[in-house]
Amino acid sequence: MEKRSEAAAFLGGRLRLRQMPRGHRAGTDAVLLAAATPAQTRGLILDIGAGTGAVGLAAALRAPAATLGLVEIDPESCALARENIATNALAARIRVHEADLLSIAARRAGGLENESAEVLLTNPPYLTPGRARVSPDPRRALAHVSADGLEPWLRACLALLRPGGLFVMIHRADALADCLASVGTRLGALALLPVLPREGEAATRILLRGLKGSKAPLSLLPPLVLHEADGAFTPRAAALNRGEGELF
């Protein structure tokens, strides 16, 4: 197993996370996705493609009455997620499911039940082979690249979400058309939040929230701007990085 990095502080020091020195490393995307968790959530929250647990652990702090499931295929990331859970004294509320999301049998063997989640958060692989440069690092490639595309990932995610449950995804802004096509009619009451690096710049990320089985129309929300002209976080982005405020 690779040597781990030193524990880094997230959410203003409320969360301590160790990550692999190479491969995918959690950052702003994880903070934003976790910030979409309703604080009043009860029942099960699933973090799909959990890596070392940044989104799920942050969501656990936001929703203290919920239980969490972290779903991840990479064994070393799962091991480190378990360490992070223990470090943050959250073992009573969080379980790691080592499983291939796209395999029904693997999901079942990993302890995942269909229509069990109240809230589902996912940061899916952003890239498709042949349409983007793939990292030579195998762990980073595993986290960032899906040979199957987005639709099978979303179909598997939504199988785990109860009817009426809340789905939230973060993705590249230029993948918006693919995101909406993959969601199809499975979700309603969609809310689309563009994320801008700075005021006046094009969005680089989108957050898409919806309710399984709803027929309500889509809403386009005012964008979240991350940085001031001098590079400092905007007040709203700074608050979210401290684990404060609501994203939606």
CATH number of 8-241: 3.40.50.150
Per-residue b or e along 178-211, where b marks 16 or more CB atoms closer than 10 Å to that residue's CB: bbeebbeebbebbbbbbbbeeeeeebebbbbbbb
Per-residue pLDDT tens digits for 198-248:
999 999 999 999 999 999 999 999 999 999 999 999 999 999 999 999 899
* Helices (H), ranges, the chain: 28-35, 54-62, 75-87, 104-109, 138-144, 150-160, 176-183, 235-241
At residue 11, what are phi and psi to the nearest 5 degrees? 55, 50
The answer, as to whether pTM is greater than 0.85, is yes
Q: What residue spans define the domains of the chain?
A: 8-241
Q: Is 229 helix (H, G, I), strand (E, B) or coil?
A: coil
Residues 122-137: tens digit of each pLDDT? 999 986 756 556 555 5
Spatial separation of the C-alpha atoms in residues 179 and 176, rounded to whole Å: 5
Give per-residue pLDDT as tens, 45-62: 999 999 999 999 999 999
The half-sphere exposure of 221 on its side-chain side, counting CA atoms within 13 A, is: 17
In 10 A of CB 164, how many CB atoms? 10
**Per residue in 80-138, pLDDT tens?**
999 999 999 999 999 999 999 999 999 999 999 999 999 999 999 986 756 556 555 55
